[in-house]
Amino acid sequence: PSTSLFNQETLQQRLQTLIEGARESWTYAIYWQSSVVDFSGASTLGWGDGYYKGEEDKGKRKTASSQSAAEQEHRKKVLRELNSLISGSSASADDAVDEEVTDTEWFFLVSMTQSFVNGSGLPGQAFNSVPIWVTGKERLAGSSCERARQGQVFGLQTMVCIPSASGVVELGSTELIFQNSDLVNKVRVLFNFNNMG
């Protein structure tokens, strides 16, 4: 039963519960799933699932992005292609895909392609270790982790990675959110798959 509970549906519900039930306004939550990649037992963290909520202030949607017109066109093109591949419909039939793709939306989408060797990157450092909480643009920009620096470039002000039984929960926000034990405890309850039931 514990393995059947560990599927993408319940992951999505847990991520949603975590973000929607939080007092702070988190922009997204990602579950990085651990898997063993070779005989030496080395593991890697890859995309498990993610929940994107977006910025609290919808007005920020239009102003947050600072990238060039060419970059915005590239993002829209990628989104259009993905949309037509997923829905099977013509991209032009869906006006939503032609809306500006914000920095945090793009950061979230690009995250789906990423993975981290155990011990490297923000999620990789948190795995089998302690939570990592980075608040403030300066701290993110000065981090030794590329993902943290990347997050800052895409408008994040807070990034958190909390280890769980078989992966890492990452949260990001465009707001300044300071460390609190409530969130860490919630992650431990919601994502401790070994103790299901």
By CB under 8 A, is residue 85 in contact with another protein? yes
CB of 120 to another protein, least distance (A): 19
- Asked if 113 interacts with another protein (CB under 8 A), we say yes
From the list 17, 37, 60, 61, which residue makes contact with another protein (rule: CB under 8 A)?
A: 61
Does residue 10 touch another protein according to CB under 8 A?
A: no
Q: Specify which residues 50 forms β-bridges with.
A: 30
Q: How far is the CB of 58 from another protein (least distance, A)?
A: 5
Whether 118 and 43 have beta carbons less than 8 Å apart is answered as: yes
Distance from C-alpha of 25 to C-alpha of 155, rounded to nearest angstrom: 14
Among 22, 50, 123, 163, binds another protein (CB under 8 A): 50
Q: Single out the residue of 4, 63, 86, 88 in contact with another protein (rule: CB under 8 A).
A: 86
Q: Which residue has the tokens 């920009």?
A: 141
The answer to whether 123 contacts another protein (rule: CB under 8 A) is: no
Specify the DSSP element, H or E, that contains 11. Answer: helix 8-20
Smaller CB separation from another protein, 113 or 181? 113
User: Interface with another protein includes 8 (CB under 8 A)?
Assistant: yes
Does 70 engage in binding with another protein (CB under 8 A)? no
Going by C-alpha positions, the residue among 108, 98, 110, 109 that lies closest to residue 72 is 98
With CA atoms as reference, report the closest residue to 18 among 57, 50, 66, 60.
Answer: 50
Residue of 19, 43, 49, 174 interacting with another protein (CB under 8 A): 49
170 contributes a contact to another protein by CB under 8 A: no
Give CA–CA dist 46/32, Å, rounded.
5
Residues that bind another protein in the complex, under the rule CB under 8 A: 8, 12, 47, 49-52, 54, 58-59, 61, 79, 81-83, 85-87, 94, 96-97, 99, 105, 108-109, 112-113
